[in-house]
Amino acid sequence: MLSISQELADKIVAHARADHPDEACGVIAGRDDVPERFIPMENAERSPTFYRFDSMEQFRVWREMDDRDETPVVIYHSHTATEAYPSRTDVSYASEPDAHYVLVSTRDEDEVEFRSYRILDGVITEEEVRFLP
């Protein structure tokens, strides 16, 4: 299960809306599986169907997390024309076994789809999301 503050969840959605129709992506760093620090990342691909963290930005952010004893608790990205479910490429490149992979769909202007998964060894497991006040 992913427990996340409503404020952080809103930030993810706002980022996804702002970058639509391109995919948005980012990290929420934290400790002990608690997402705390919102880090929007640049989508180096600037694409409506693909995302990739810029390699130098990722290096800086990962080193900063290391220095602060944080981990990437949440790795999020948006789908802009399809449902918030991991695509085949999401599964093949998933490389953080301890992260909650959050997907947001912006295909509908009024409705938000916000879902979370574990992706491990090619297997997708959806999990419950609890929004904390």
Partner 1 sequence: MAIEVRIPTILRNYTGGAKAVDVEGATLEELISNLESRHPGIKDRLVDDGSLRRFVNVYLNDEDVRFLGGLGTKLSDGDTVTVLPAVAGG
Residues of this chain that interact with partner 1 (CB under 8 A) are 25, 27, 41, 45, 49-53, 55-56, 58-59, 62-63, 75, 77, 86-90, 93-98
**For partner 1, which is the closer residue by CB, 124 or 131?**
124
Least distance to partner 1 from the beta carbon of 77, Å? 6
Torsion, Cα of 11, 13, 15, 16 (10° steps): 160
Least distance to partner 1 from the beta carbon of 93, Å? 5
**For partner 1, which is the closer residue by CB, 13 or 86?**
86
CB 74 within 8 A of CB 11: no
CB 118 within 8 A of CB 125: yes
Q: Which helix (H) or strand (E) holds 25?
A: strand 25-31
